[in-house]
């Protein structure tokens, strides 16, 4: 299933298969996935445990090699790209947000945010760092360390860190999974604002309320895309997921 009409895809998977292990012990984590993620849209990826969500994320970002098929990132085929090229590409074109924030505990919010630019060998401007934190509502927390921030604030620092390189695609793996419902709503509203400003987001989640904030939800089961919802509601997502989990 490829969708999106004439919209250019920020990420495209063409007939992607990913097999782990050999012969009798082999697992087909992705099984012929063809999927386009239109630029400037927010897609949630859902499915039962073991359905292939993390594998999809890893293959789409070049962290994992596909067994067959193709992966295109902003139109460039990265399927056979050399490791060094992929590392640079990930630093420049991809932002990551994780469930447990993955901030460096010994660094301040500002230092965490400037880290990706430093790693990429780029010039770091204090005003860019301030602006990135200000945009997530933390302009007054520049010098706080992660332990001095709430979970929701830490996730907002992580989003600022992911966005500082102006990535073509922001990948989020359970970004609200460790947050209380109020902080989760704040983080989802922030992601919504980014998409309104043209950002592409691909998010793995188990939470129907988080998925309902996205433009579309793609459902995986046994390594295949088996369903999709546009303009999802929490109720509709929860219902589809329950049906899917019942049939597993």
State the residues that interact with ligand ATP by CB under 6 A. Answer: 20-21, 27, 29, 47, 49-55
Minimum CB distance to ligand ATP, residue 53 (Å): 4
Minimum CB distance to ligand ATP, residue 226 (Å): 13
DSSP-derived pairing of the beta strands 42-46 and 200-204: parallel
Contact assessment for residue 185 and residue 207, using Cβ atoms and an 8 Å cutoff: no
CA 149 – CA 109 distance, rounded (Å): 9
Edge-to-edge strands of the sheet including 200-204? Answer: 94-98, 169-173, 200-204, 42-46, 216-221, 224-230
Minimum CB distance to ligand ATP, residue 50 (Å): 4
Minimum CB distance to ligand ATP, residue 59 (Å): 9
Minimum CB distance to ligand ATP, residue 6 (Å): 31
Interacting residues of 133 by C-beta distance below 8 A, sequence separation 6+: 109, 110, 113, 139, 141, 142, 157, 160
Q: Which is nearer to ligand ATP, 133 or 214 (CB)?
A: 214
Handedness of CA 130, 43, 48, 32 (dihedral sign): negative
Q: Which is nearer to ligand ATP, 133 or 217 (CB)?
A: 217
Nearest 5°: the CA angle 12, 186, 91 is 40
Q: Which is nearer to ligand ATP, 22 or 105 (CB)?
A: 22
Pick from 214, 139, 208: nearest CA to 172: 214
Minimum CB distance to ligand ATP, residue 3 (Å): 21
Pick from 38, 42, 11: nearest CA to 189: 42
Torsion angle, alpha carbons of 193, 231, 77, 2, to 10: -170
Q: Which is nearer to ligand ATP, 25 or 105 (CB)?
A: 25
Q: Give the CB-side neighbour count of residue 2, counting CA atoms within 13 A.
A: 15
Q: Which is nearer to ligand ATP, 164 or 218 (CB)?
A: 218
Q: Which is nearer to ligand ATP, 134 or 227 (CB)?
A: 227
Q: Which is nearer to ligand ATP, 55 or 154 (CB)?
A: 55
Minimum CB distance to ligand ATP, residue 224 (Å): 12
Q: Give the CB-side neighbour count of residue 230, counting CA atoms within 13 A.
A: 5
């Amino acid at each position: 299933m490829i969708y999106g009409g004439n919209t250019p895809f920020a990420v495209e998977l063409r007939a992607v298969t990913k097999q782990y292990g050999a012969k009798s012990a082999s697992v087909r984590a992705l099984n012929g996935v063809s999927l386009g993620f239109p630029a400037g849209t927010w897609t949630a990826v859902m499915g039962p445990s073991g359905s292939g969500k993390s594998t999809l994320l890893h293959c789409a970002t070049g962290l994992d090699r596909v067994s067959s098929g193709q992966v295109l990132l902003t139109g460039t085929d990265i399927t056979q790209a050399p490791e060094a090229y992929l590392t640079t590409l990930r630093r420049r074109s991809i932002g990551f947000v994780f469930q447990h924030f993955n901030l460096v505990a010994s660094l301040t919010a500002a230092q965490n945010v400037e880290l990706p630019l430093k790693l990429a060998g780029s010039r770091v401007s204090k005003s860019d760092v301030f602006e990135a934190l200000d945009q997530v509502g933390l302009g007054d927390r520049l010098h706080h360390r992660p332990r001095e921030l709430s979970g929701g604030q830490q996730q907002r620092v992580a989003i600022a860190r992911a966005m500082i390189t102006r990535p073509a695609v922001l990948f989020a793996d359970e970004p609200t999974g460790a947050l209380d419902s109020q902080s989760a709503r704040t983080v989802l509203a922030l992601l919504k604002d980014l998409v309104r400003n043209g950002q592409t987001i691909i998010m793995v989640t188990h939470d129907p309320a988080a998925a309902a904030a996205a433009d579309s939800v793609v459902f995986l089961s046994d390594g295949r895309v088996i369903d999709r919802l546009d303009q999802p509601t929490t109720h509709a997502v929860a219902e589809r997921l329950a049906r899917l989990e019942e049939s597993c």
